Structure 1
Amino acid sequence: MYVAVKGGERAINNAHAWLAEERRGDTSVTELSIAQIREQLALAVNRVMAEGSLFDPDLAALAIKQARGDLIEAIFLIRAYRTTLPRFGHSNPVDTAEMACDRRISATFKDLPGGQVLGPTFDYTHRLLDFKLAAEGAPEAAPERDPTPGPVPHVAEFLNREGLIEDAPRDDTPPPDLTREPLSLPADRALRLQALARADEGFTLSMAYSTQRGYGRTHAFVGELRIGTVPVELEIPELGFAIEIGEIVVTECETVNQFKGSKTEPPQFTRGYGLVFGQTERKAISMSLVDRALRWEELGEEFTGAPAQDAEFVLYHADNIQATGFLEHIKLPHYVDFQSELELVRKLRREAAAEALPEAAE
């Protein structure tokens, strides 16, 4: 319960003005442009697109600028804007085997058809500050790159030829739309993957890390990690066929996990899967590990009580916008609530003091 505060509207307007001033910073420093954020802070832009469920680098860059670099606030802005957009239809599932790969690596097979494509990665850097970046000057010429053209078969299919890995689970049932329908349990895998795709990266990373430390019985290998561009197609009823309406950049990760087998299934490897907008490989790997941990029931495994195995725990705490709203609402006025709690504590203290008097007299 909130109560009105005299002069509140004026104070709020002044707070907004001060925020705009702080956002701009020192006016003697050149203002960041949307293009600069989009091109030079691309990984932040990718995260905002992924967790905001909207692929638009320019809007994500605008949100980052407006939020002063607070990525969760930027994600909130993107999600809020997304709700205002009309929906014209549903695109066909993207075919990642046709991806034009900028990066494609495998930790399970050294010799891949087409070779290992390292791509743009921090993996081999020394994590030392590069003070040359602090010096202003002409930028170095970017090296020429030639994305690996599709089709690029998935690594797991090499194992599948020998029956050493489970077939990729398929279900043609249209999945529910998490952006339009609230999450409900029990959640099937399609719904879980939707929730994980836009889950907070830090939370997903923590859950994935817990499985590697023994909380989830998931010892995984990265079967394949790929980053690249895929076309998006939309069925046009008037034409009777699909047309390409654009391209998006995605990161896909498929992990290979041990499986001892069951009464109906022989020992084989199983899969964990992650697919995220943009170059967001830490999130995609984390997503695939958590996906595999959540599959314990359908694979006939034992529930060990690990947090990453508990779908309710994972899915209801993964969304950073929902978490932020619930967390930050406690800084809003709760004067009436607190006064009632304060009066209750005072009453309990009076009663405790009254009971203590006879005992002291004895």
Structure 2
Amino acid sequence: MGCEIALKESAFFRELLEKLIQENSEETLIFEETRVRWNEVKRSGEVNLLCGKCQKCLDLDKYIMLLYKFFNEEISKNDLRIELYEWTQAENIDDCLNIGVPTLSSEDFNISPFKNNDKPIYYLDLNVINQYKEIKFIKDKIEISKKIYEYAYSPAHVFEISRMNNYDRLKDISELTANLVILPEEVNLYIGYENPNYSLERIKKKPEYLRNYEEYWFNESKIRELYFPEFENEEFRKRVGSSNDLFFEFKEQINKALLFVGSFQLDMIKKDIEQRDYDEVLFCLYCALNIISYKCDNDERKFKSGLYDLEHLKYAWKADYLVTRDKKFYIRAKQIYNLLNFKTVVITYDDFLEKHL
């Protein structure tokens, strides 16, 4: 019973904190709401029923403490924003770890080995695959090109489809790629054949994992505002956005961001990439570009879609070509792959149509 009370009360006090961290918040009114509600909780004796151990009881304790510290002028509004952000991210990480990845058996896979025929492999993002589905002459040209090219998909495509609940697209992926898939191994990537429905069924075993990962990723969008306000400057954003040699021209700023999200620097990246898995290096580089405002979106929907761009980056380097219709993703992917000396050539959808089909 006490934990059910904590669920209700923590949501209420969290809402007060969210109001409070706004620039023009009515602090006096929020203080009065906090005082009245907390007195009601104490008078009812409900506070004595809290276990103090479950997440919602811990949340309630944390939120009351933050409100108390702010109204007693022990922390500033910016300190409050940072503490609330860090608490939320820690909770998101705990949720991901507690849920964990699905426990899988051999029956969850149906992979056969790749028959390497020296054809170049093309990895199309989902927006390009949509064109294959919707425009007949594009589909016809791609079908003809299969005489000289291979097309591959990855779990990143299935992640996107599962979040959109448009499972018909799996048929298009299967038809386009003949089930050629790039899958993760322990330290590398593996190419084989598997129907994408198997990948979907593995995701469905723990769909909440992906939702928590999305929530964690969206909260990452607040890093720049909270910790690196100097990168919010409009003049700086314009200079970064027009850079053609980002990792040279803005090396100092990127290294600063990398120290926040990881533990390596650009000068050491070739050595570090041998000691770490590619997922970690790509994740840190992608987050660092977000922090310095390089070709990123702050809109919630668009920022969340950046998570899938990152997931595509983690798989596409195993292919010979990465094709995208997203200009920002195209530029980011080129910068990162060039830095890491990946063989993969990043091309636009227009170039793909004009020069490759």
Shorter-chain TM-score bucket reads under 0.3
Question: Larger % of helix: which?
Answer: 2
For normalisation by structure 2, the TM-score amounts to 0.20
Higher Cα Rg: structure 1 or 2? 1
